[in-house]
Chain A
Amino acid sequence: MRTGGEAPPAVLAGIFKDLFGYTGSLADAVSHEDVSGWDSLGHVQLIEELETAFSVRISSAEMLEMTHLGAIRGLLRQRGVALE
């Protein structure tokens, strides 16, 4: 259930801003090492936010792989979210 009718890329940016206070580059290569607060605790919260914002379900195995923006976008595209 998306809120506010925002486009998916804006929602993704919004999640990173609200969870981590991060407004920098969201290029595919950007990973948890580049974002302060994106630790194991933050990761669990990030996964939850992605799930509720995009109405997708992410398994534990997938969760462990989504440590950089490229993997996140890959999974969302796979689930049918239009990121372009």
Chain B
Amino acid sequence: MSFPWAEPDVSPWDEETLARLSAPDRARLVRRWLEDPAVTIDWRMACDALCASEIPARDRSFLVSLLRRSGELPPSSPRLRVAITGTGTLGPLVDLLRCRLVAEGFSSDVHVGQFGQMHFELRKPEAFWPWREPPSAVLVGIDVGGVLPDRTGVDLPSDAGHVRADEALADLAEALRAFRSRYPIPVFVNNLPPIASGFQGVHEGSDQRGTRPLIGRFNEGLAALARSEPDVFVLDLCGLAAELGGLRFFDARRWYYARMPCSYDGFTEWACEAASAIATFARGPRKCIAVDLDDTLWGGILGEVGPRGIELGQEGLGLAYRDFQAELRRIRRQGVLLAAASKNDPPMVDQVFEQNPQMVLCRDDFVAMETNWEDKSANIRRIAADLGIGLDSVIFLDDSPQERSLVRWELPDVLTPVLPADPVDRPRFLRKLRAWRPLRSTAEDGKRTEYYRMRAASRAHAEAHGSAAAFLLSLRQTLQFKRVEPAELPRLAQMHERTNQFNLTTRRLTAAELADLLNRREFRLYIGQVSDRFGDHGHVIAAVVRVLPGAADGPDPGGVWEIESFLMSCRVIGRVVETAFLQELLREARRSKARHVVARFVPTERNTVAAAFLAAHRFERIADARDAVDGGSTWRLDLETPLAAGPEVVQVTSLAASRDAS
């Protein structure tokens, strides 16, 4: 008799096996898998494992050439176009960036410009791009040699050293603004790594005319530029070079013979950082970190040693665990939701939070705590469902390789990284974890945990109230509906970046694009703020409408309103808020004498919750040429149809009419 699981698992690709090996051994093993014709290549894992600066250069270039010859993710993988321009020779970035984007789950076309042509390529980019459509992102690679050729200020008076840095930054800023005035595409530009100064010895730290102060001044100016320019992001090459060390990051031979600003290792780190940032822009950051408790948040098994017996303190491993908690708290404050999934008794866990003075995280830092004796995968599923987020928005951290393997097997969409075996390495691991980092932060981020706790409170309230209608009524929801003003643009852009589920068209409109639409007469941007008895949820729903003009004697003299974008934060799904918002939007359309409203739904893997929305609100399906292009559907509503009375569950205040009709 043969058991079904007696069949050998043909795929050897396994993160845990790779993580246990040294870099050269890992490279050897992955190469063996890549060269074995019987093994299907897992390109994501191959690129993630081999395209790293710890791996021998020989194996990296083997992978790069294999990828160039034959590798691709499945055709259904999302595809990005990236244009690279800059000072210095940036050719090596092309293949490395492609590799790292594969590790992030994207296929890509990467094109690099000509040497020394950055200023021209930023002002007239379409002359250099090989595509008809603009790219998804632009990577600007600058180096000290290209941007600060006079790298010290020794010829200037001692208090004028900064002039050189300011002029160099102004040059770059002008080129970037010229580019962005024509193309509202995200730009990723690196800051400058510090190089050997012109001064030695005691003056290094005190004389303002040295290279290092100049570079520091330039980098500060660049940071300020990124803060003021929407969709310009700074890659911290300075930090990467410090991590790698100057001796490994720079290579004199590459500079003098090829004008390359860094070594192969340096380019690899650069590509990792750039790919991570571009991927985050394309699909949004992960929203929730679910953690195990025992031997992850503290040392030891709580059930065996009790709340005061766990390893958590001011020295040694206990301090490492405290720092791990501190890093998690820092991450939570930047808008990430924290949840716990642990095999423990809830009263014991409560005692740790209440009684152990060394705990850094407190109970309120967590929006969900699944402490029971069930399978971790079931707990994670429940956490994601409770929070209303997809499994692909979750990161799971657990010290046990067996638990991690199980979760990876059952929930492949959850990111389950290999936590370093030694607790002292884990705080640094958290600092380097990129998957949760959003590109932009808003004031709402600090409050996100609070919003979700409110939501949990309201659900507990729901359980007490029985029927859905009674529950919704008891919430006493209000919606404030208004036209978007400039102050709301960052939040609107953030919603476009992050919202995946209740999103009709999933258009990732950037802050710059939205600012542009705000100024154009034929676009209307609306945003809604929702409150209920538990508190203020903030801005959670929005729509972008294009008003197509109508001919005075045609069928639509008042024009047609087309909904370009309609999205709602997952934290208010299921409360009929979207209906209230849509009805207010339709009232606006009627007020402006439009006769029809058209909307499209473009299905993705994540937005099925919004699929029935238009039909449910009496839109009718019509034919449209775009349906064949993106697999979507087009719908139309005749505004002559009387509007249904607003749902009594939401009290709507509209501030839209107070703005001058334009």
- Cβ contacts under 8 Å, A48 to chain B: 57, 254, 264
CB-CB under 8 A for A52 and B62, given A1-B24, A60-B253:
no
A80 at the interface (CB under 8 A from B): no
CB-CB under 8 A for A41 and B91, given A3-B28, A49-B61:
yes
- Taking a contact as CB atoms under 8 Å apart, the answer to whether A49 and B257 are in contact is no
- Taking a contact as CB atoms under 8 Å apart, the answer to whether B258 and A40 are in contact is yes
Classify chain A: how many residues form its interface, as a range.
20 to 34
- Taking a contact as CB atoms under 8 Å apart, the answer to whether B258 and A3 are in contact is no
Contact of B59 among A3, A45, A47, A63 (CB under 8 A): A3
CB nearest neighbor in A for B251: A48
> A interface, by DSSP: helix, strand, loop or mixed?
helix
B336 at the interface (CB under 8 A from A): no
Measured CA separation A41–B61 after assembly (Å): 15
Measured CA separation A32–B61 after assembly (Å): 19
- Taking a contact as CB atoms under 8 Å apart, the answer to whether B57 and A52 are in contact is yes
Measured CA separation A17–B92 after assembly (Å): 17
- Cβ contacts under 8 Å, A43 to chain B: 257
- Taking a contact as CB atoms under 8 Å apart, the answer to whether A1 and B57 are in contact is no
Query: Can you list, as one digit per residue, whether each of B246-263 has a CB less than 8 Å from chain A (1) or not (0)?
Result: 000000011001101000
- Taking a contact as CB atoms under 8 Å apart, the answer to whether A52 and B258 are in contact is no
A 40-83 contacts with B by CB, 8 A: 40-41, 43-45, 47-49, 52-53, 60, 63
CB nearest neighbor in A for B69: A21
B536 smallest CB distance to A (angstroms): 57
B31 at the interface (CB under 8 A from A): yes
- Taking a contact as CB atoms under 8 Å apart, the answer to whether A53 and B254 are in contact is no
- Taking a contact as CB atoms under 8 Å apart, the answer to whether B65 and A21 are in contact is yes
Query: Can you list, as one digit per residue, whether each of B225-251 has a CB less than 8 Å from chain A (1) or not (0)?
Result: 000000000000000000000000000
A14 at the interface (CB under 8 A from B): yes
Measured CA separation A42–B31 after assembly (Å): 23
CB nearest neighbor in B for A17: B65
Measured CA separation A19–B61 after assembly (Å): 7
Measured CA separation A1–B462 after assembly (Å): 65
- Taking a contact as CB atoms under 8 Å apart, the answer to whether B24 and A3 are in contact is yes
- Cβ contacts under 8 Å, B254 to chain A: 44, 48
- Taking a contact as CB atoms under 8 Å apart, the answer to whether A3 and B65 are in contact is no
Contact of B257 among A1, A15, A17, A44 (CB under 8 A): A44
B589 smallest CB distance to A (angstroms): 59
- Cβ contacts under 8 Å, A19 to chain B: 61, 65
Measured CA separation A25–B61 after assembly (Å): 21
CB-CB under 8 A for A4 and B28, given A41-B89, A53-B58, A60-B253:
yes
CB-CB under 8 A for A14 and B62, given A1-B56, A3-B56, A49-B57:
yes
- Please report A residues at the B interface, Cβ cutoff 8 Å: 1, 3-4, 14-15, 17-19, 21, 40-41, 43-45, 47-49, 52-53, 60, 63
- Please report B residues at the A interface, Cβ cutoff 8 Å: 24, 27-28, 31-32, 56-59, 61-62, 64-65, 68-69, 89, 91-92, 253-254, 257-258, 260, 264
Offer 28 A-B interface pairs, CB within 8 angstroms, sorted by A. Answer: A1-B56, A3-B27, A3-B28, A3-B31, A3-B56, A3-B58, A4-B28, A4-B32, A14-B62, A15-B58, A17-B65, A18-B61, A18-B62, A18-B64, A21-B68, A21-B69, A40-B258, A41-B258, A44-B254, A44-B260, A45-B61, A45-B264, A47-B253, A48-B264, A52-B58, A53-B58, A60-B257, A63-B253
